[in-house]
A and B are shown apart, each in its own frame.
Chain A
Amino acid sequence: MSAASADGAGPATGAVPRRRLPVRIRPARPAALAAGLVLALILLAAIWPGLFTGRPPNAVDPPAALQGPGAAHLFGTDELGRDEFSRVVHGTRVSLGVGLGATALALALGSAAGVVAATAGRVVDEAVMRVCDILLSFPGLLLALLVVAVLGPGTADATVAIGVSMAPGFAKLVRSQALVIRRSDYVRAAVTFGRRRSEIHLRHVAPNALAPLLVLATVTVGGAIVAGSSLSFLGLGPQPPSPDWGSMLADGQNYLAVSWAVAVFPGLAVTATVVSSTVVGAYLRRRFEGRGAGDGF
C-alpha cells in the first residue's frame, strides 16, 4: 500500500462528481492484489457466512452480554449476548447487498437515461440532462433521505433511495461515452463497410462503453456502502434483528461506557470493505485509462 501515490492527472473543471468518494490514488500491483484478496474474503463471507462461523447471528445469551473480545467470542458480545463476530460476518450479506444493489440500480437507471439522452434527439437530451442537474442539486445524502421519507425505512427502500441518488452520475457518463464513441473512427469505418446498426452497437459501441462504466461502478460501490450503512445507522435501513453493520454500531453506541468492542468491529468491517473496493477500483481505472473518454471519471 505504501506505493499508493497521488494521481498526477488534473481534475476536470466544471462537472465535479459529488456522490462518489473522490479518491485519487494509483495503487501498485501488490497493493491491488492484497486489496483484491480482502475483497474476495468479504465476498465469500457474504455468499457463505457459515464458512467463517458456526454460531447463529441472532442467538441471544443475556448472561454473556457485553463481553470484551476473547477466546469464546472473538469480537465480544452485544447487549443481548449475541456473538459480535457472527453478526459482523452475517452482516456482510446485508450491508454488501445494499451497496451492490444500489450500484446496480444506479447503473441500470443511469445507462438507460444516458442512452436515451444520447440517441433520442436534442430536446430529449436537454430534458434528461436538466433532470440530472436537478437531482444533483440535492447535496450529499439529502436525495436518498428524501426518497426514504417517501418509501419508508427498510432494506429494499434504502437500496432504492441510494440507487436513485447515484443514477445521475452514471447517466452523464453513459451519455458522454455514447457521444464520443459514435463519432469515433472505428464506428465510422464500420458504417462505411456497411455493417448493420445492431451489429455496430453490439460489437463496437457496447464493449467500448462498458469498460469505463464497470470501473465507475467499482469506484461507486464504496460510496454506496458508506451511504447504506449511514442510513441504517440512522435506523432507516435494514430493521432489527437483521444483522447490519450500521445498525449494529447504532445499538452499540448506547453501551460504549461498558464495552468498546460493539463500536469498533462493525465500523472496521465497513472501512475494510470500502478501502479494498476503492483500491481495486482505482487499479482497474488505471488499467483501463486511455480507453474511451477517460475524462468522465
Chain B
Amino acid sequence: MENIKKSENIVFEKPRLINDTPMHYCPGCTHGVAHNLIASVIDEMGLAETTIGIAPVGCAVFAYKYVDIDWIEAAHGRAPAVATAVKRLSPDKMVFTYQGDGDLAAIGTAETIHACNRGENIAIIYINNAIYGMTGGQMSPTTIVDMKTATCPYGRNVALNGYPLKITDILVPLEGTCLVTRESAHTVAAIKRTKKMIRKAFENSLAGKGTSIVEIVSTCTAGWKMTADQANKWMVENLFPAYPPGTLKDI
C-alpha cells in the first residue's frame, strides 16, 4: 500500500485547489471534470492567490464550494458584467466566469455580447448541455430541435420555440474576442485539449489580448434522463452536429 503512494507511482491525483467538499453534481455530469481542469490550470500557472472566479446561477452556482480561490457569485446571467468590474478595478488579477447555457445565452445574452465586444480581459468558461439542469430540466436557448425537456415535452418545436442559439458563433466576429473555441470533455483526448484551451484563455487574459471563450459541450445525465455512458454517446450523435467542436477564432 505504501509503495502505491510513492510519488513515482502516482498517475492521477486530485488537483491541489479542489477541496474535500463532496460535489453535488450527478454522476456523469461534465461540471466535475471542468472544475478539475480549471483548478489544475490555475495551480499550474501559479495563479491561486491572484484569481477571482465569478460563479453563475444554475447547477454551477456552488462552484465556489469546490475550488479554493476567492469567488463572487453573480445574479443570473450577470457574470460578465461582474467580471468586467473586478478585472478593470484590479487589472493584475486573473478573472474568469463559469456559466451555463441558460445563464450565458438566455438571460445574460446582453452581458455576454457586450463584455466580449468591449474586449474585457477575462476568460469565459461556457458549459453547454442544452438544458436547465438546476431547475429540473427545462428547455434552454441551446436545446436542439426535437429534443425533449420539461418545458418542451414533445420536443423543441421551431414554430413554437424558435431555433437553438449558437451563441459562440455570434461571438466570433466581435472585435473584442481573441479566442473562441468549442470543446468537450467526454474522452481523454478531448479533456486534454479542453485543458490546453482553458490555459490559453487564461494566458490571453493575463496578456491583455481581449476576451476568451471556451465552450464545453457537456452532458446532463439527470436532465437528459440517461446514464453517463448513454449521455456521452447521445452528446456525440446529437449535440455535436449542432455544436461541432473546434476552434472558431484564435488570434
A, B bound? no
